[in-house]
Amino acid sequence: MPPSTRRGDDPTGTGTRRVAYRGRVRELLRTPRWIGLTALGLVLIVAFGALSWWQWQRAQREREVAPPAPVAEILVVGAAPAEEDYGVRVRLSGVYDLGGQVVVANGPSAYWVVTPLRPATGPAVPVARGLVRSPQDPLVSTATPGTVEVVGFAQPYEGDPGPGAPLPAGQAERLTATAFDVGYPLVEGWVALESQVPAADPTAEPVRPPLGVSAPTALRWQNASYAVQWVLFAGFVVFLWVRMLRDDLREARGESLRAAPADGAAERPEVY
């Protein structure tokens, strides 16, 4: 075999070298060091795959939501909901009462549109229908007419901020019992709308329930992120294995590992 044949110049020679290279790889892989490293790599890949699967299952499980409970089981007149019921999914039906609606300031240029939903019997339930950027948003002046089936997250009233600067009629600083001025009983608490039948028109940005449901929602992204990362770590193992094998082959071939800086860079440009 000529000492320095470039690939293409002598196909036969290249083929011979390839066969020799494969032989060297097989020989190296049969050494105890490489049997061990390969076994370790496989164990790590399987373990990382299992960890990824586990995190993915956790991410999925968080997504499963319990079927909504009847609102009367969670929100009642005259008593705040129990802390463990914060964020529970509830269902209710009734007619929106635009006249009793309150627009609650939720930070600069963010308003919750909260409209009492009056059922056929029993107390009305304030439903936060959406988050709008201005009190003049069309959502404020329109609500789905007729009987509406609502699913949402039960929330307690916010703390009363006490007397503050006067606000325009129909607006409140906090979502509290005193924010409403209606002639019928209201439950103590409110519901952040998740979905309704018939669908809302116009649609609005949903109100993110402040209590109880934010943590699990975020956790699912954390688990999904970890699931992706475990797969990538398994990829790192493959990369590490290939890289170490290549280094060992070079060493076995007797290539000088202590390459002079300039020569080394020129000889193996693909590495550095």
Partner 1 sequence: MPVTAPVPVVERALLRYRVMAFVVGTMLLILVGAMLLKYVFGVIDSTSIVAIGHGWLYMIYVLVSLDLLFRMRWGFGRIVFVVISGTIPFLSFWCEHKVTGWVRAELADAPQPDRAPH
Give residues in contact with partner 1 (CB under 8 A). Answer: 37, 214-215, 218-219, 221-222, 225-226, 229, 232-233, 236, 239-240, 243-244, 247, 257-262, 264-265, 271-272
Nearer to partner 1 (CB atom), residue 197 or residue 228? 228
Nearer to partner 1 (CB atom), residue 5 or residue 229? 229
Q: Rounded to the nearest whole angstrom, what is the least distance from the CB of residue 262 to partner 1 in the complex?
A: 6
Nearer to partner 1 (CB atom), residue 171 or residue 229? 229
With b for 16 or more beta-carbon neighbours within 10 A and e for fewer, the 222-259 pattern comes to ebbebbeebbebbeebeeebeeebeebeeeeeeeeeee
Report the interhelical angle of 32-63 vs 11-29 (nearest 10°): 80
Q: Rounded to the nearest whole angstrom, what is the least distance from the CB of residue 92 to partner 1 in the complex?
A: 26
Q: Rounded to the nearest whole angstrom, what is the least distance from the CB of residue 110 to partner 1 in the complex?
A: 20
Nearer to partner 1 (CB atom), residue 184 or residue 239? 239
114, 184 Cβ separation under 8 angstroms: no
Strand, helix or coil for residue 267: helix
The CA-atom distances, in angstroms, between 24 and each of 106, 159, 243 are 70, 75, 16
What single letter denotes the amino acid at residue 196? Q
Nearer to partner 1 (CB atom), residue 139 or residue 227? 227
Q: Rounded to the nearest whole angstrom, what is the least distance from the CB of residue 59 to partner 1 in the complex?
A: 11
Q: Rounded to the nearest whole angstrom, what is the least distance from the CB of residue 218 to partner 1 in the complex?
A: 4
> Which DSSP symbol is given to 205?
B
